[in-house]
Amino acid sequence: MLASHYHINTLKEAPSEAEVASHQLMTRAGMIRRIAGGIYTYMPLGLKVLRKIENIVREEMDKAGALELLMPVVQPAELWQETGRWDEYGAELLRIKDRHQRDFVLQPTSEEVVTDIVRNEIHSWRQLPVNFYHIQTKFRDERRPRFGLMRGREFTMKDAYSFDRDEISAQKSYDIMYDAYTRIFERLGLRFRAVAADTGAIGGSRSHEFQVIADTGEDEIVYNPDTDYAANIELAEAPCLIAERQAPTAQLEKIATPDATKCELVAEQLKRPLCDTVKAVVLATDPIDDKGKPQIWLLLVRGDHEVNEVKVSKLPGFENGYRLASEEEIQDHFGCVPGYLGPVGLSDTVTVIADRTVAHMSDFICGANEAGFHYTGVNWGRDVAEPQVADLRNVVAGDPDPTGTGTLAIQRGIEVGHVFFLGDTYSKKLQATYLDKEGKPQLIQMGCYGIGISRIAAAAIEQNHDDKGMIWPRAIAPFEVVICALNWAKSEAVQTASMQLYEQLKAQGIDVILDDRDVRPGVMFADWELIGVPVRVTVGDRGLKENMLEIQQRARGENEKIQTSEALSYITQALAQQ
């Protein structure tokens, strides 16, 4: 490809709404163009990256025995009504009507359609297992689309669905996908972690996220640097930090703590470490039938810890959702404004749940349920009844690994893949069964497996960029090599040397572009640093006089002078090492 025949149109400035590096850089490099909120055109440079990602995903899915099909973007409401998701799915599900006023959705995922296909196609145990996948345009009507491809509305996803005779076989299908995903992210050239994760709205009993490590990631990953343990912080078990509860040594004392509505302020006023304080969070769960009263809960975590919302949602009694209690409810049940709440002297209308660590604290500090006052020297059993105990908090860096080996660390990640063990969640609702060897109908066991193709492009940039632009891993770079032919129009020597190298690289199957544009070298170099092509070769008259070319590896930065005759082997070696 000659650059003069390609479309290269870089911008000096990123649009003001671009908040993250990937959005800024992809826009500046001319890889994407916004058409509407969260809806982009992939320009030729951007599409090349997307296709390379797609191809790696496709190859590994095929190798893993999955069969590619293509399900439609527009799907009939009836199937979504059969599973109940027509009502349950939030406003992200774009519901539309055709000319005959029939209801459809723009697919954000395809569990319904694929299960419908399978219940029609699969009748016998002989036809199982099978794994169908497609790479297709998805639509999720985000309330506030942002971050470019990271949280767009229209995006490309690979979603696979496995169908098995029984749970053991389904687990095997899950493991095959887990391994395929590992190979995919290795081949993409990204630093990533597979982390145990919550199953969320998709349902099912087991799941892993594939997270690309990046400081700008929205997710927090808890991992043990000494083992292979890794989990999303939503799920990661937080250990009790106090092996045994100590016997009380202090008296219960009510102390004035004016304006100290947060643990940090209380600790400061009382000149005590933050880890001696206990934080109170008041939640309410509403009755299902509007008849009963809301149940009020007091959740306690240590002053330096945070409540984990996903863990709370799994507590007994919280199955149907929860909310923060209103100020009025807090006044009713605690006789006090928020900021000074605690478990001492509460009526039995409030259920107290303490985090594991809090349950082992002694002589601790908590709110006195009286504005402007806290208790010190609080002890379980003596001053307040023993609470229910649960894992309520987020892990923090330095926590011991609950398995006993080493300590936990935290890093941020971008979720680009997710594998779910679904069991019979969907097959039951859609009655997808097969006849077993005895001729008896059995529910098919399912798994589902997503990879955000367009999101990977953004995540790769979040992980790999500098102040000059993107730094693509070779496998998904828009081009592997760029030859910058300086003074192309006027120098026959430059034309000859650069075309020769260009043809040599092409003959090796290397994806190369020759920049023959009539622009200043500074502009040309800045363009390719922004676009982030792994290897740049500069061909200029001055160097050619000494039979030299200049080669720069984008990830390293420095220029190296190489003999023209050695350029080819130097470049292929440089690429091979990436």
Say how far apart CA 570 and CA 5 lie, in whole Å. 27
Tokens 């749940």 locate to: 353
Q: Is 265 in a helix, a strand, or coil?
A: helix
Among positions 29, 50, 460, 571, the unique one binding a copy of itself when judged by CB under 8 A:
50
Report if residue 40 touches a copy of itself, rule: CB under 8 A.
Answer: yes
Q: Is residue 145 a contact partner of residue 34, using CB atoms and an 8 Å limit? A: no
Give whichever of 154 and 329 is closer to a copy of itself, judged by the CB atom: 154
Report if residue 130 touches a copy of itself, rule: CB under 8 A.
Answer: yes
Among positions 12, 16, 101, 120, the unique one binding a copy of itself when judged by CB under 8 A:
120
Say how far apart CA 288 and CA 320 lie, in whole Å. 8
Minimum distance of a copy of itself from residue 191's CB (angstroms): 27
**Residue 256: beta bridge partners?**
373
The footprint of a copy of itself on residues 80-99 (CB under 8 A) is 91-92, 94, 96-99
Among positions 15, 17, 65, 273, the unique one binding a copy of itself when judged by CB under 8 A:
65
Give a three-class secondary structure readout of 548-572. Answer: EEEEEECCCCCEEEEEHHHHHHHHH
The footprint of a copy of itself on residues 143-162 (CB under 8 A) is 143, 153-154
Ranges of beta strands (E only) in 110-153 are: 130-139
Give whichever of 35 and 493 is closer to a copy of itself, judged by the CB atom: 35
Report if residue 141 touches a copy of itself, rule: CB under 8 A.
Answer: yes
Q: What count of Cα atoms within 13 Å lies in the side-chain half-sphere of residue 112?
A: 22
The footprint of a copy of itself on residues 6-35 (CB under 8 A) is 6-7, 9, 30, 33, 35
Give whichever of 62 and 226 is closer to a copy of itself, judged by the CB atom: 62
Give whichever of 104 and 192 is closer to a copy of itself, judged by the CB atom: 104
Minimum distance of a copy of itself from residue 318's CB (angstroms): 28
Minimum distance of a copy of itself from residue 253's CB (angstroms): 54
Report if residue 465 touches a copy of itself, rule: CB under 8 A.
Answer: no
Say how far apart CA 256 and CA 259 lie, in whole Å. 9
Say how far apart CA 40 and CA 149 lie, in whole Å. 8
Report if residue 47 touches a copy of itself, rule: CB under 8 A.
Answer: yes
Say how far apart CA 339 and CA 317 lie, in whole Å. 25
Among positions 55, 59, 82, 117, the unique one binding a copy of itself when judged by CB under 8 A:
117
Minimum distance of a copy of itself from residue 114's CB (angstroms): 8
Token pair, residue 390, equals 């649960």
Burial category of 198 from C-beta neighbours within 10 Å (exposed 0-12, middle 13-18, buried 19 and up): middle
Minimum distance of a copy of itself from residue 20's CB (angstroms): 20
Report if residue 60 touches a copy of itself, rule: CB under 8 A.
Answer: no
DSSP label of 474: G
Report if residue 121 touches a copy of itself, rule: CB under 8 A.
Answer: yes
Say how far apart CA 343 and CA 246 lie, in whole Å. 19
Minimum distance of a copy of itself from residue 28's CB (angstroms): 14
Burial readout 44-61 (b: 16 or more C-beta within 10 A, e: otherwise): ebbbbbbebbbebbbebb
List interacting residues with a copy of itself (CB under 8 A): 5-7, 9, 30, 33, 35-36, 39-44, 46-47, 50, 65, 67-76, 91-92, 94, 96-99, 104, 106, 113, 116-117, 120-121, 127, 130, 132, 136-137, 139, 141, 143, 153-154
